[in-house]
Amino acid sequence: MSAASPKTEPLLPVDSTAERPLWVVLSIMAFFAVLALLSSRLGVRQYDGLTSNLAGQASVQLTDLTPQDRLDVAQQALAVISQTAPDVNAVRMNDADAAALLEPWLGESISAELPEGIALPIMITLSDSTEAQRNSIAQALDAASISAVISDHKNWADELNRSARAFSLGSWLILLLTFFAGTAASIFATQSTMSAQSKTISVFAQVGAADNFITKLFVMRTIKVGAMSAFIGALCAILFLGLYRLLRGPSDSGLLMALTPSVSDIVIIIALCVVFTVVCAVAAGVSARGILHKTRLYQ
């Protein structure tokens, strides 16, 4: 019966109680880093989806209508649009949707009865239209003595573009600051550990251990802490988005951000965790080597 092999202890003793705050700090840093990256990518995809839906879309609002001629003017406008740009899909908004546009100002009773002299607005939506086609339609409607205002949603698209750029820049700034914070935490933890383990390091020096060997001990230790913290932070970020999506409920309007990470998002998250771990390890290695060189603990 063979004897049980003795348990090997690490060359650099691990104080779990002392390292617990480091785990918490690095996990929180990784959480914010992954959350910022996911928010940026999901936000850009949402913006691209909205702008692609707006591309080629426009609306024609017929003005100066009366309750008696509104339907005739609408039919005439549709005929003019069809003749001018046959490739453009033009659809008149139904009266129920038109009444809904007025409800915020005139109340829900607008759907049942209009005040005398007020005509429901006529709105015609254009799909798959170009700027040249919209200009031709505007000229044709004007030639037919039909008062109309054509909107290609350019102002809305520009506002979306500015908001998307600001959101993306803010997310990347948070990501950058998070990496700086993770680096600072790794340096501080390394300095604290080296101060606490000064006697052990002195023993390494007395038996001839080189700077590279001692530095490697701290780097490998930080890699383990950084990798586990990155995994915990990434998992918490994904669970946070899932919980937020569950509490928010479904969105049929398409205006709220879709919160479902894609396969490419998961791959990038894994890459981010690796980079986070490497940054923490490099910070720990540079800090350890700098302290060893500065203090000259051994000859």
- Whole-angstrom distance, CA of residue 48 vs CA of residue 298: 60
Query: Are 191 and 239 found together in one domain?
Result: yes
Reference 261, options 293, 231, 239, 228; nearest CA is 239
At residue 127, φ and ψ (nearest 5 deg) are -120, 150
Instruction: Round the average pLDDT of the chain to a whole number and report it.
Output: 76
Neighbours of 217 (CB within 10 A): 19
Domain boundary among 117, 152, 187: 152
Query: Are 174 and 253 found together in one domain?
Result: yes
The pLDDT value recorded for residue 297 is 46
Query: Are 68 and 126 found together in one domain?
Result: yes
- Pick out the chain residues at pLDDT < 50: 1, 3, 111-112, 297-299
User: How many residues can be counted in the chain?
Assistant: 299
Tell me the HSE value of 273 on the side-chain side, using a 13 A CA sphere: 22
The pLDDT value recorded for residue 231 is 92
Q: How many domains does the chain have?
A: 2
- Whole-angstrom distance, CA of residue 78 vs CA of residue 72: 10
CATH number for the domain harbouring residue 101: 3.30.70
Model pTM score? 0.64
- Whole-angstrom distance, CA of residue 94 vs CA of residue 117: 20
pLDDT digits (tens, 9 = 90+) for 107-116: 665 544 555 5
Q: What is the DSSP string of 84-95?
A: H-TTSEEEEPPH
Query: Are 43 and 188 found together in one domain?
Result: yes
Query: Are 174 and 235 found together in one domain?
Result: yes
- Whole-angstrom distance, CA of residue 283 vs CA of residue 187: 6
Please indicate, yes or no, if residue 253 is contained in any of the structural domains.
Answer: yes
Reference 180, options 275, 279, 290; nearest CA is 279
Query: Are 169 and 266 found together in one domain?
Result: yes
The pLDDT value recorded for residue 124 is 84
Query: For residue 85, what are the contacts with CB-CB under 8 A and spacing of at least 6?
Result: 129, 133, 136, 137
Domain boundary among 152, 184, 218: 152
Please indicate, yes or no, if residue 264 is contained in any of the structural domains.
Answer: yes
Query: Are 287 and 146 found together in one domain?
Result: no
